Amino acid sequence: MFTSDFKTEPYWWDAVPREPAEPYDIPAKVDVLIVGSGYTGLHAALKTARAGRSTLVLDAQQIGYGASSRNGGQISNSIKLNLLELTKKFGTDMAAKISIEGKASRDYIESFVKEEGLDCNFKVVGRFDGAHTPKQYEKLAKTAGEDGSFMVPLADQHSELGTDFYYGGIVRPNHASIHPALYHRGLLSLVRQAGAGVGGNCKVTSIKFQNNGYLVETPTQSVQAKRVIIATNGYTTKVTPELQKRVIPIGSYIIATEELPKDVMDRLMPKNRMLCDTRKMVFYYRPSPDRKRILFGGRVSLNESDPVATAKPLRNELIRIFPELKKVKISHSWSGFVAFTFDKLMHVGRQKEMYYAMGYCGSGVGMASYLGMKIGLMAVDDATGQTAFSEIPFLDRLYYQGNPWFMGPTISYYRLHDRLSL
């Protein structure tokens, strides 16, 4: 099942190895301290540093160790709820504002990559969403036309995807792909060029408000910060308990196949799309940027599990969709944490002089970049940092403190839902 050189780490790291763990000299005082070195934290740091604020980014792990270098590299319009669902929740005006910002996040990352000259395989390739039942095809058809999306009936499905597993689907042509680790490396370089400090393997153990600022503790040093930005998303801890109880960390797992013949890739994925389907147990997949492998991800475990254990069910699902790959071997298997929220929306806010953005619900590449930029602007009192996501309540649940005990039953229900083809 595994290649001889199988790795339990992201395929993306082959091109971008992790930085060595080197001691970082933490300053005693900074204007802005950012917890988390992923897309959110680095985009925030870029804004604060370029605005002339002394900026420090700290991460408990290696820099960029989390979801920012582990994700599938798919970029969408980011909002899980459609316009009708948003309208029912928030009314017409707020629904429109949220929807617009979802599209803005996708446009922001494209313009950012181009303007900054980042070499990260960004491409507008579109996404094909496969309908796993005829009923789901009809449901997708009701959204056709939004952002140029169009339906692909079963008879034409092979023009988009070399499988008979689905009952047709929808193409969303403005969705994009990226090499997430190359993107992170380019972003990190910009942040350092702007003068910000970035320290890995430096866990923040406490944040205490005092004297109109914060005392931030690490195992070895403390820092006085005028303002703090929390950019931890699926890795949010009890250091910020009011945020931890509002996000649900969920493990997402991905495998990479061994290299496949060109004719196979051209037959299975002729248009280089990003791919997803309508099942509750979400599966997402894509060709690698060099079109030599398939990267296949999903949420396949009732409890958090190691990548070796989750590789088999992911491979089995890959073969269900593409039976001709029944002999394919797996070269990489890895996981990362995403953060969902109780209302399926991302959130931005401020508590005294502490700012946060999180809860990207599996759409973090574009939205983490966009909202990281927004909170960076907010932290330097720039009015353009205003966002609709700071105007909606960030909900919690009674008795929930950050341990998602309910995920096992939820995943079991989703599996049953899909099995019954609902």
Give me the number of domains the chain comprises. Answer: 1
- Determine contact, residues 207/228, Cβ cutoff 8 Å: yes
- Determine contact, residues 250/102, Cβ cutoff 8 Å: no
Cα-based distances in Å from 50 to 41, 60, 252, 277, 380: 14, 24, 34, 41, 10
Asked whether residue 147 is domain-assigned, the answer is: no
pLDDT given at position 88: 94
> 126: Cβ–Cβ under 8 A, 6 or more apart, which residues?
171, 172, 173, 174, 175, 271, 273, 274
101's tokens: 């910002």
Residue type, 157: Q
Asked whether residue 200 is domain-assigned, the answer is: yes
- Determine contact, residues 237/231, Cβ cutoff 8 Å: no
User: Which residues in 93-174 belong to E strands, given as ranges?
Assistant: 123-124, 127-130, 150-152, 169-172
Model pLDDT for residues 392-422, shown as the tens digit of each residue: 999 999 889 888 877 666 666 566 666 666 5
The pLDDT profile of the chain, 422 residues, written as one tens digit per residue, is: 999 999 999 999 999 998 887 778 899 999 999 999 999 999 999 999 999 999 999 999 999 999 999 999 999 988 989 888 999 999 999 999 999 999 999 999 999 999 999 999 999 999 999 999 999 999 999 989 888 999 999 999 999 999 999 999 999 999 999 999 999 999 999 999 999 999 999 999 999 998 889 999 999 999 999 999 999 999 999 999 999 999 999 999 999 999 999 999 999 999 999 999 999 878 999 999 999 999 999 986 656 678 999 999 999 999 999 999 999 999 999 999 999 999 999 999 999 999 999 999 999 999 999 999 999 999 999 999 999 999 999 999 988 988 887 766 666 656 666 666 65
Cα distance between residue 33 and residue 54, in whole Å = 9
Q: What are phi and psi of 171, to 5 degrees?
A: -105, 130
Residue type, 261: P
Asked whether residue 232 is domain-assigned, the answer is: yes
Asked whether residue 28 is domain-assigned, the answer is: yes
Asked whether residue 208 is domain-assigned, the answer is: yes
Asked whether residue 76 is domain-assigned, the answer is: no
Model pLDDT for residues 200-236, shown as the tens digit of each residue: 999 999 999 988 899 999 999 999 999 999 999 999 9
- The CATH number given to whatever domain includes residue 358 is 3.50.50.60
Three-state DSSP state, 112: helix
pLDDT given at position 419: 64
pLDDT given at position 268: 98
125's tokens: 């390739």
Cα distance between residue 262 and residue 240, in whole Å = 49
pLDDT given at position 402: 87
- Determine contact, residues 175/125, Cβ cutoff 8 Å: yes
Show the domain range for 222: 12-71+181-246+342-403
Asked whether residue 322 is domain-assigned, the answer is: no
Cα distance between residue 321 and residue 340, in whole Å = 27
Of the candidates 376, 345, 381, 382, the residue with the CA atom closest to the CA atom of residue 362: 345
pTM assigned to the model? 0.95
Cα-based distances in Å from 64 to 39, 59, 305, 379: 8, 8, 21, 22
Q: What is the enclosing helix (H) or strand (E) of 211? A: none
Three-state DSSP state, 356: strand
Asked whether residue 157 is domain-assigned, the answer is: no
Of the candidates 62, 63, 38, the residue with the CA atom closest to the CA atom of residue 229: 38
